[in-house]
Amino acid sequence: MASIEGGAIAMIGVCVLGSTGTVGMNTLDVVSRHPKKFKVVALGAQRNNKKLLQQCLQFHPDYAALVDSAAATELEVQLRTHGCATRVLIGQGALEHIAALPSAPYVMAAIAGAIGLGPTLAAAKAGKRLMLANKESLVMAGNLLLDQVRASGATLLPIDSEHNAIFQCLPPNTRPGCVPLGVRRIVLTASGGPFIDWSAEQLSKATPDQACAHPKWIMGRKISVDSATLINKGLEIIEARILFGLQASQIEVLVHRQSLVHSLVEYLDGSMLAQLGSPDMRTPIAHALGWPDRLDSGVQSLDLAKVGLLQFELPDLVRFPCLALAQQAAEIGGLAPAVLNAANEVAVAAFLEGRLNFCGIPAVIEAVMSSQVVSSATDLASVLAADGAAREQAITEVRRLS
């Protein structure tokens, strides 16, 4: 909530990591609807300086951080040309710096990939309201992140539509990593992606553009491919285990093509609660920004009479083996999720660059998982070491399959 200082309402400072991506842009859209409540203090991205320039000119943040040095230099020149006083920071450390700024108690962690782990941990260590959209932070180092959240007193709120839906359906006193009272199981819903009805032969010929043509959600290319392989849902199983303290056997997946029921929670008494809404990321973003209150998100209301029927089906683990591989990693635990994630990132990048076919993605992941020695994730160094080793082997597997 905004505080009152000297009779005036002090706005809440917000830092958006990954501001040029889909979640970041949607976050800024919601923030812009509440100009008296929020102030954009810092924006961060990897290399999209053109989009970041537009955002800086609109929101005038104190800081803008870019990992790519050439892009950052160009951004600084453009900002000065436009008379914008935003200070430009460069490098991976810059993202961690803005994530820990005292002037931004709210941090949206939306940088995709393992590169988002460091800034996310920095925000947790600084005791922020951490709105988590970076899957990799939980998948790679979930227990370490929760330990940091507990130590600093940070508030962790999930942004993925599925985990945010579960959070909304759980008892109000539920804390991250603690088993929620009375819960029998949770059900994660999956849209099924663009290839849900494709045959194995068709999948072998799928192109990157086809994989990125999601039928319901507007997302970045990497996460769109993850949705097409269904590994996105597998990563969410791993996240849910950590966030909600459940066993893998208590987490199920159902394909729900309409993408209106975002997930469900079943209680011991047989009650089942679901969160419904239009497929729009502004809903979970507004929920996290306003929690425990509610904010206008700009999302269109759901017309249930027009929807009529809600349909669900089981996922096909034969045509979409990535989901089964992720389920396996969730059951093993330890460093297995980090190995899975690293192999997937390398394989997806190769697919998007035309060096690997669609069916090669699970082949690379399976080969890496079957050969890497998996132990406990004792500290961040062990996580990063497992990540690096898995990436090296995945690169070798891509070359072998190319």
**237-254 pLDDT, tens digit each:** 999 999 999 999 999 999
H-helix or E-strand spanning residue 154 = none
Same domain, 400 and 264: no
Residue 131 near residue 106 (C-beta atoms within 8 A): yes
Which DSSP category does 299 fall into? P
Q: How far is CA 197 from CA 113, 316, 373, in A?
A: 28, 10, 36
Same domain, 194 and 79: no
Q: What is the reported pTM?
A: 0.90
User: 4 falls in which pLDDT band (50, 70, 90)?
Assistant: very low
Retrieve residue 304's tokens: 């249930």
Residue 327 near residue 334 (C-beta atoms within 8 A): no
Same domain, 151 and 181: no
Same domain, 205 and 128: no
Got the DSSP string for 308-329? -----B---TTT-HHHHHHHHH
* Residue at 377 is within a domain: yes
H-helix or E-strand spanning residue 254 = strand 251-255
- 5 has pLDDT over 50: no
Q: How many CB atoms lie within 10 A of CB 9?
A: 12
Question: Alpha-carbon distance 212 to 354, whole Å?
Answer: 14
Q: How many residues does the chain have?
A: 402
Question: Alpha-carbon distance 106 to 389, whole Å?
Answer: 34
Retrieve residue 4's tokens: 């009152």
* Residue at 168 is within a domain: yes
By DSSP bridging, strand 12-17 and strand 38-45 are parallel
* Residue at 136 is within a domain: yes
Where among 140, 159, 178 does a domain terminate? 159
- 374 has pLDDT over 80: no
Where among 257, 289, 319 does a domain terminate? 319
- 217 has pLDDT over 90: no
Question: Alpha-carbon distance 82 to 78, whole Å?
Answer: 6
Give the CATH number of the domain where residue 63 resides: 3.40.50.720
Q: Which of 284, 396, 389, 269 is nearest to 340 (CA)?
A: 389
What residues are paired with 85 via a beta bridge? none
What residues are paired with 108 via a beta bridge? 16, 131
Where among 101, 129, 159 does a domain terminate? 159
Same domain, 45 and 107: yes
* Residue at 325 is within a domain: no
Which DSSP category does 11 fall into? P
* Residue at 237 is within a domain: yes
Retrieve residue 85's tokens: 């006083």
User: What pLDDT score was predicted for residue 9?
Assistant: 63
* Domain residue limits at 18: 3-159
Question: Alpha-carbon distance 167 to 293, whole Å?
Answer: 14
What residues are paired with 261 via a beta bridge? 276
User: 115 falls in which pLDDT band (50, 70, 90)?
Assistant: confident
Question: Alpha-carbon distance 381 to 88, whole Å?
Answer: 29
Question: Alpha-carbon distance 47 to 66, whole Å?
Answer: 6
Same domain, 190 and 239: yes
Same domain, 20 and 36: yes
**pLDDT (tens digit per residue) in 168-197:** 999 988 888 889 999 999 999 999 999 999
Q: Where are the beta strands (DSSP E) in 78-169?
A: 87-90, 106-109, 129-132, 155-158
Which DSSP category does 217 fall into? -
Same domain, 132 and 211: no
- Which residue matches tokens 């892009």? 71
Poorest-pLDDT segment among 124-128, 134-138, 145-149, 164-168: 134-138
Same domain, 111 and 215: no
Number of domains in the chain: 3
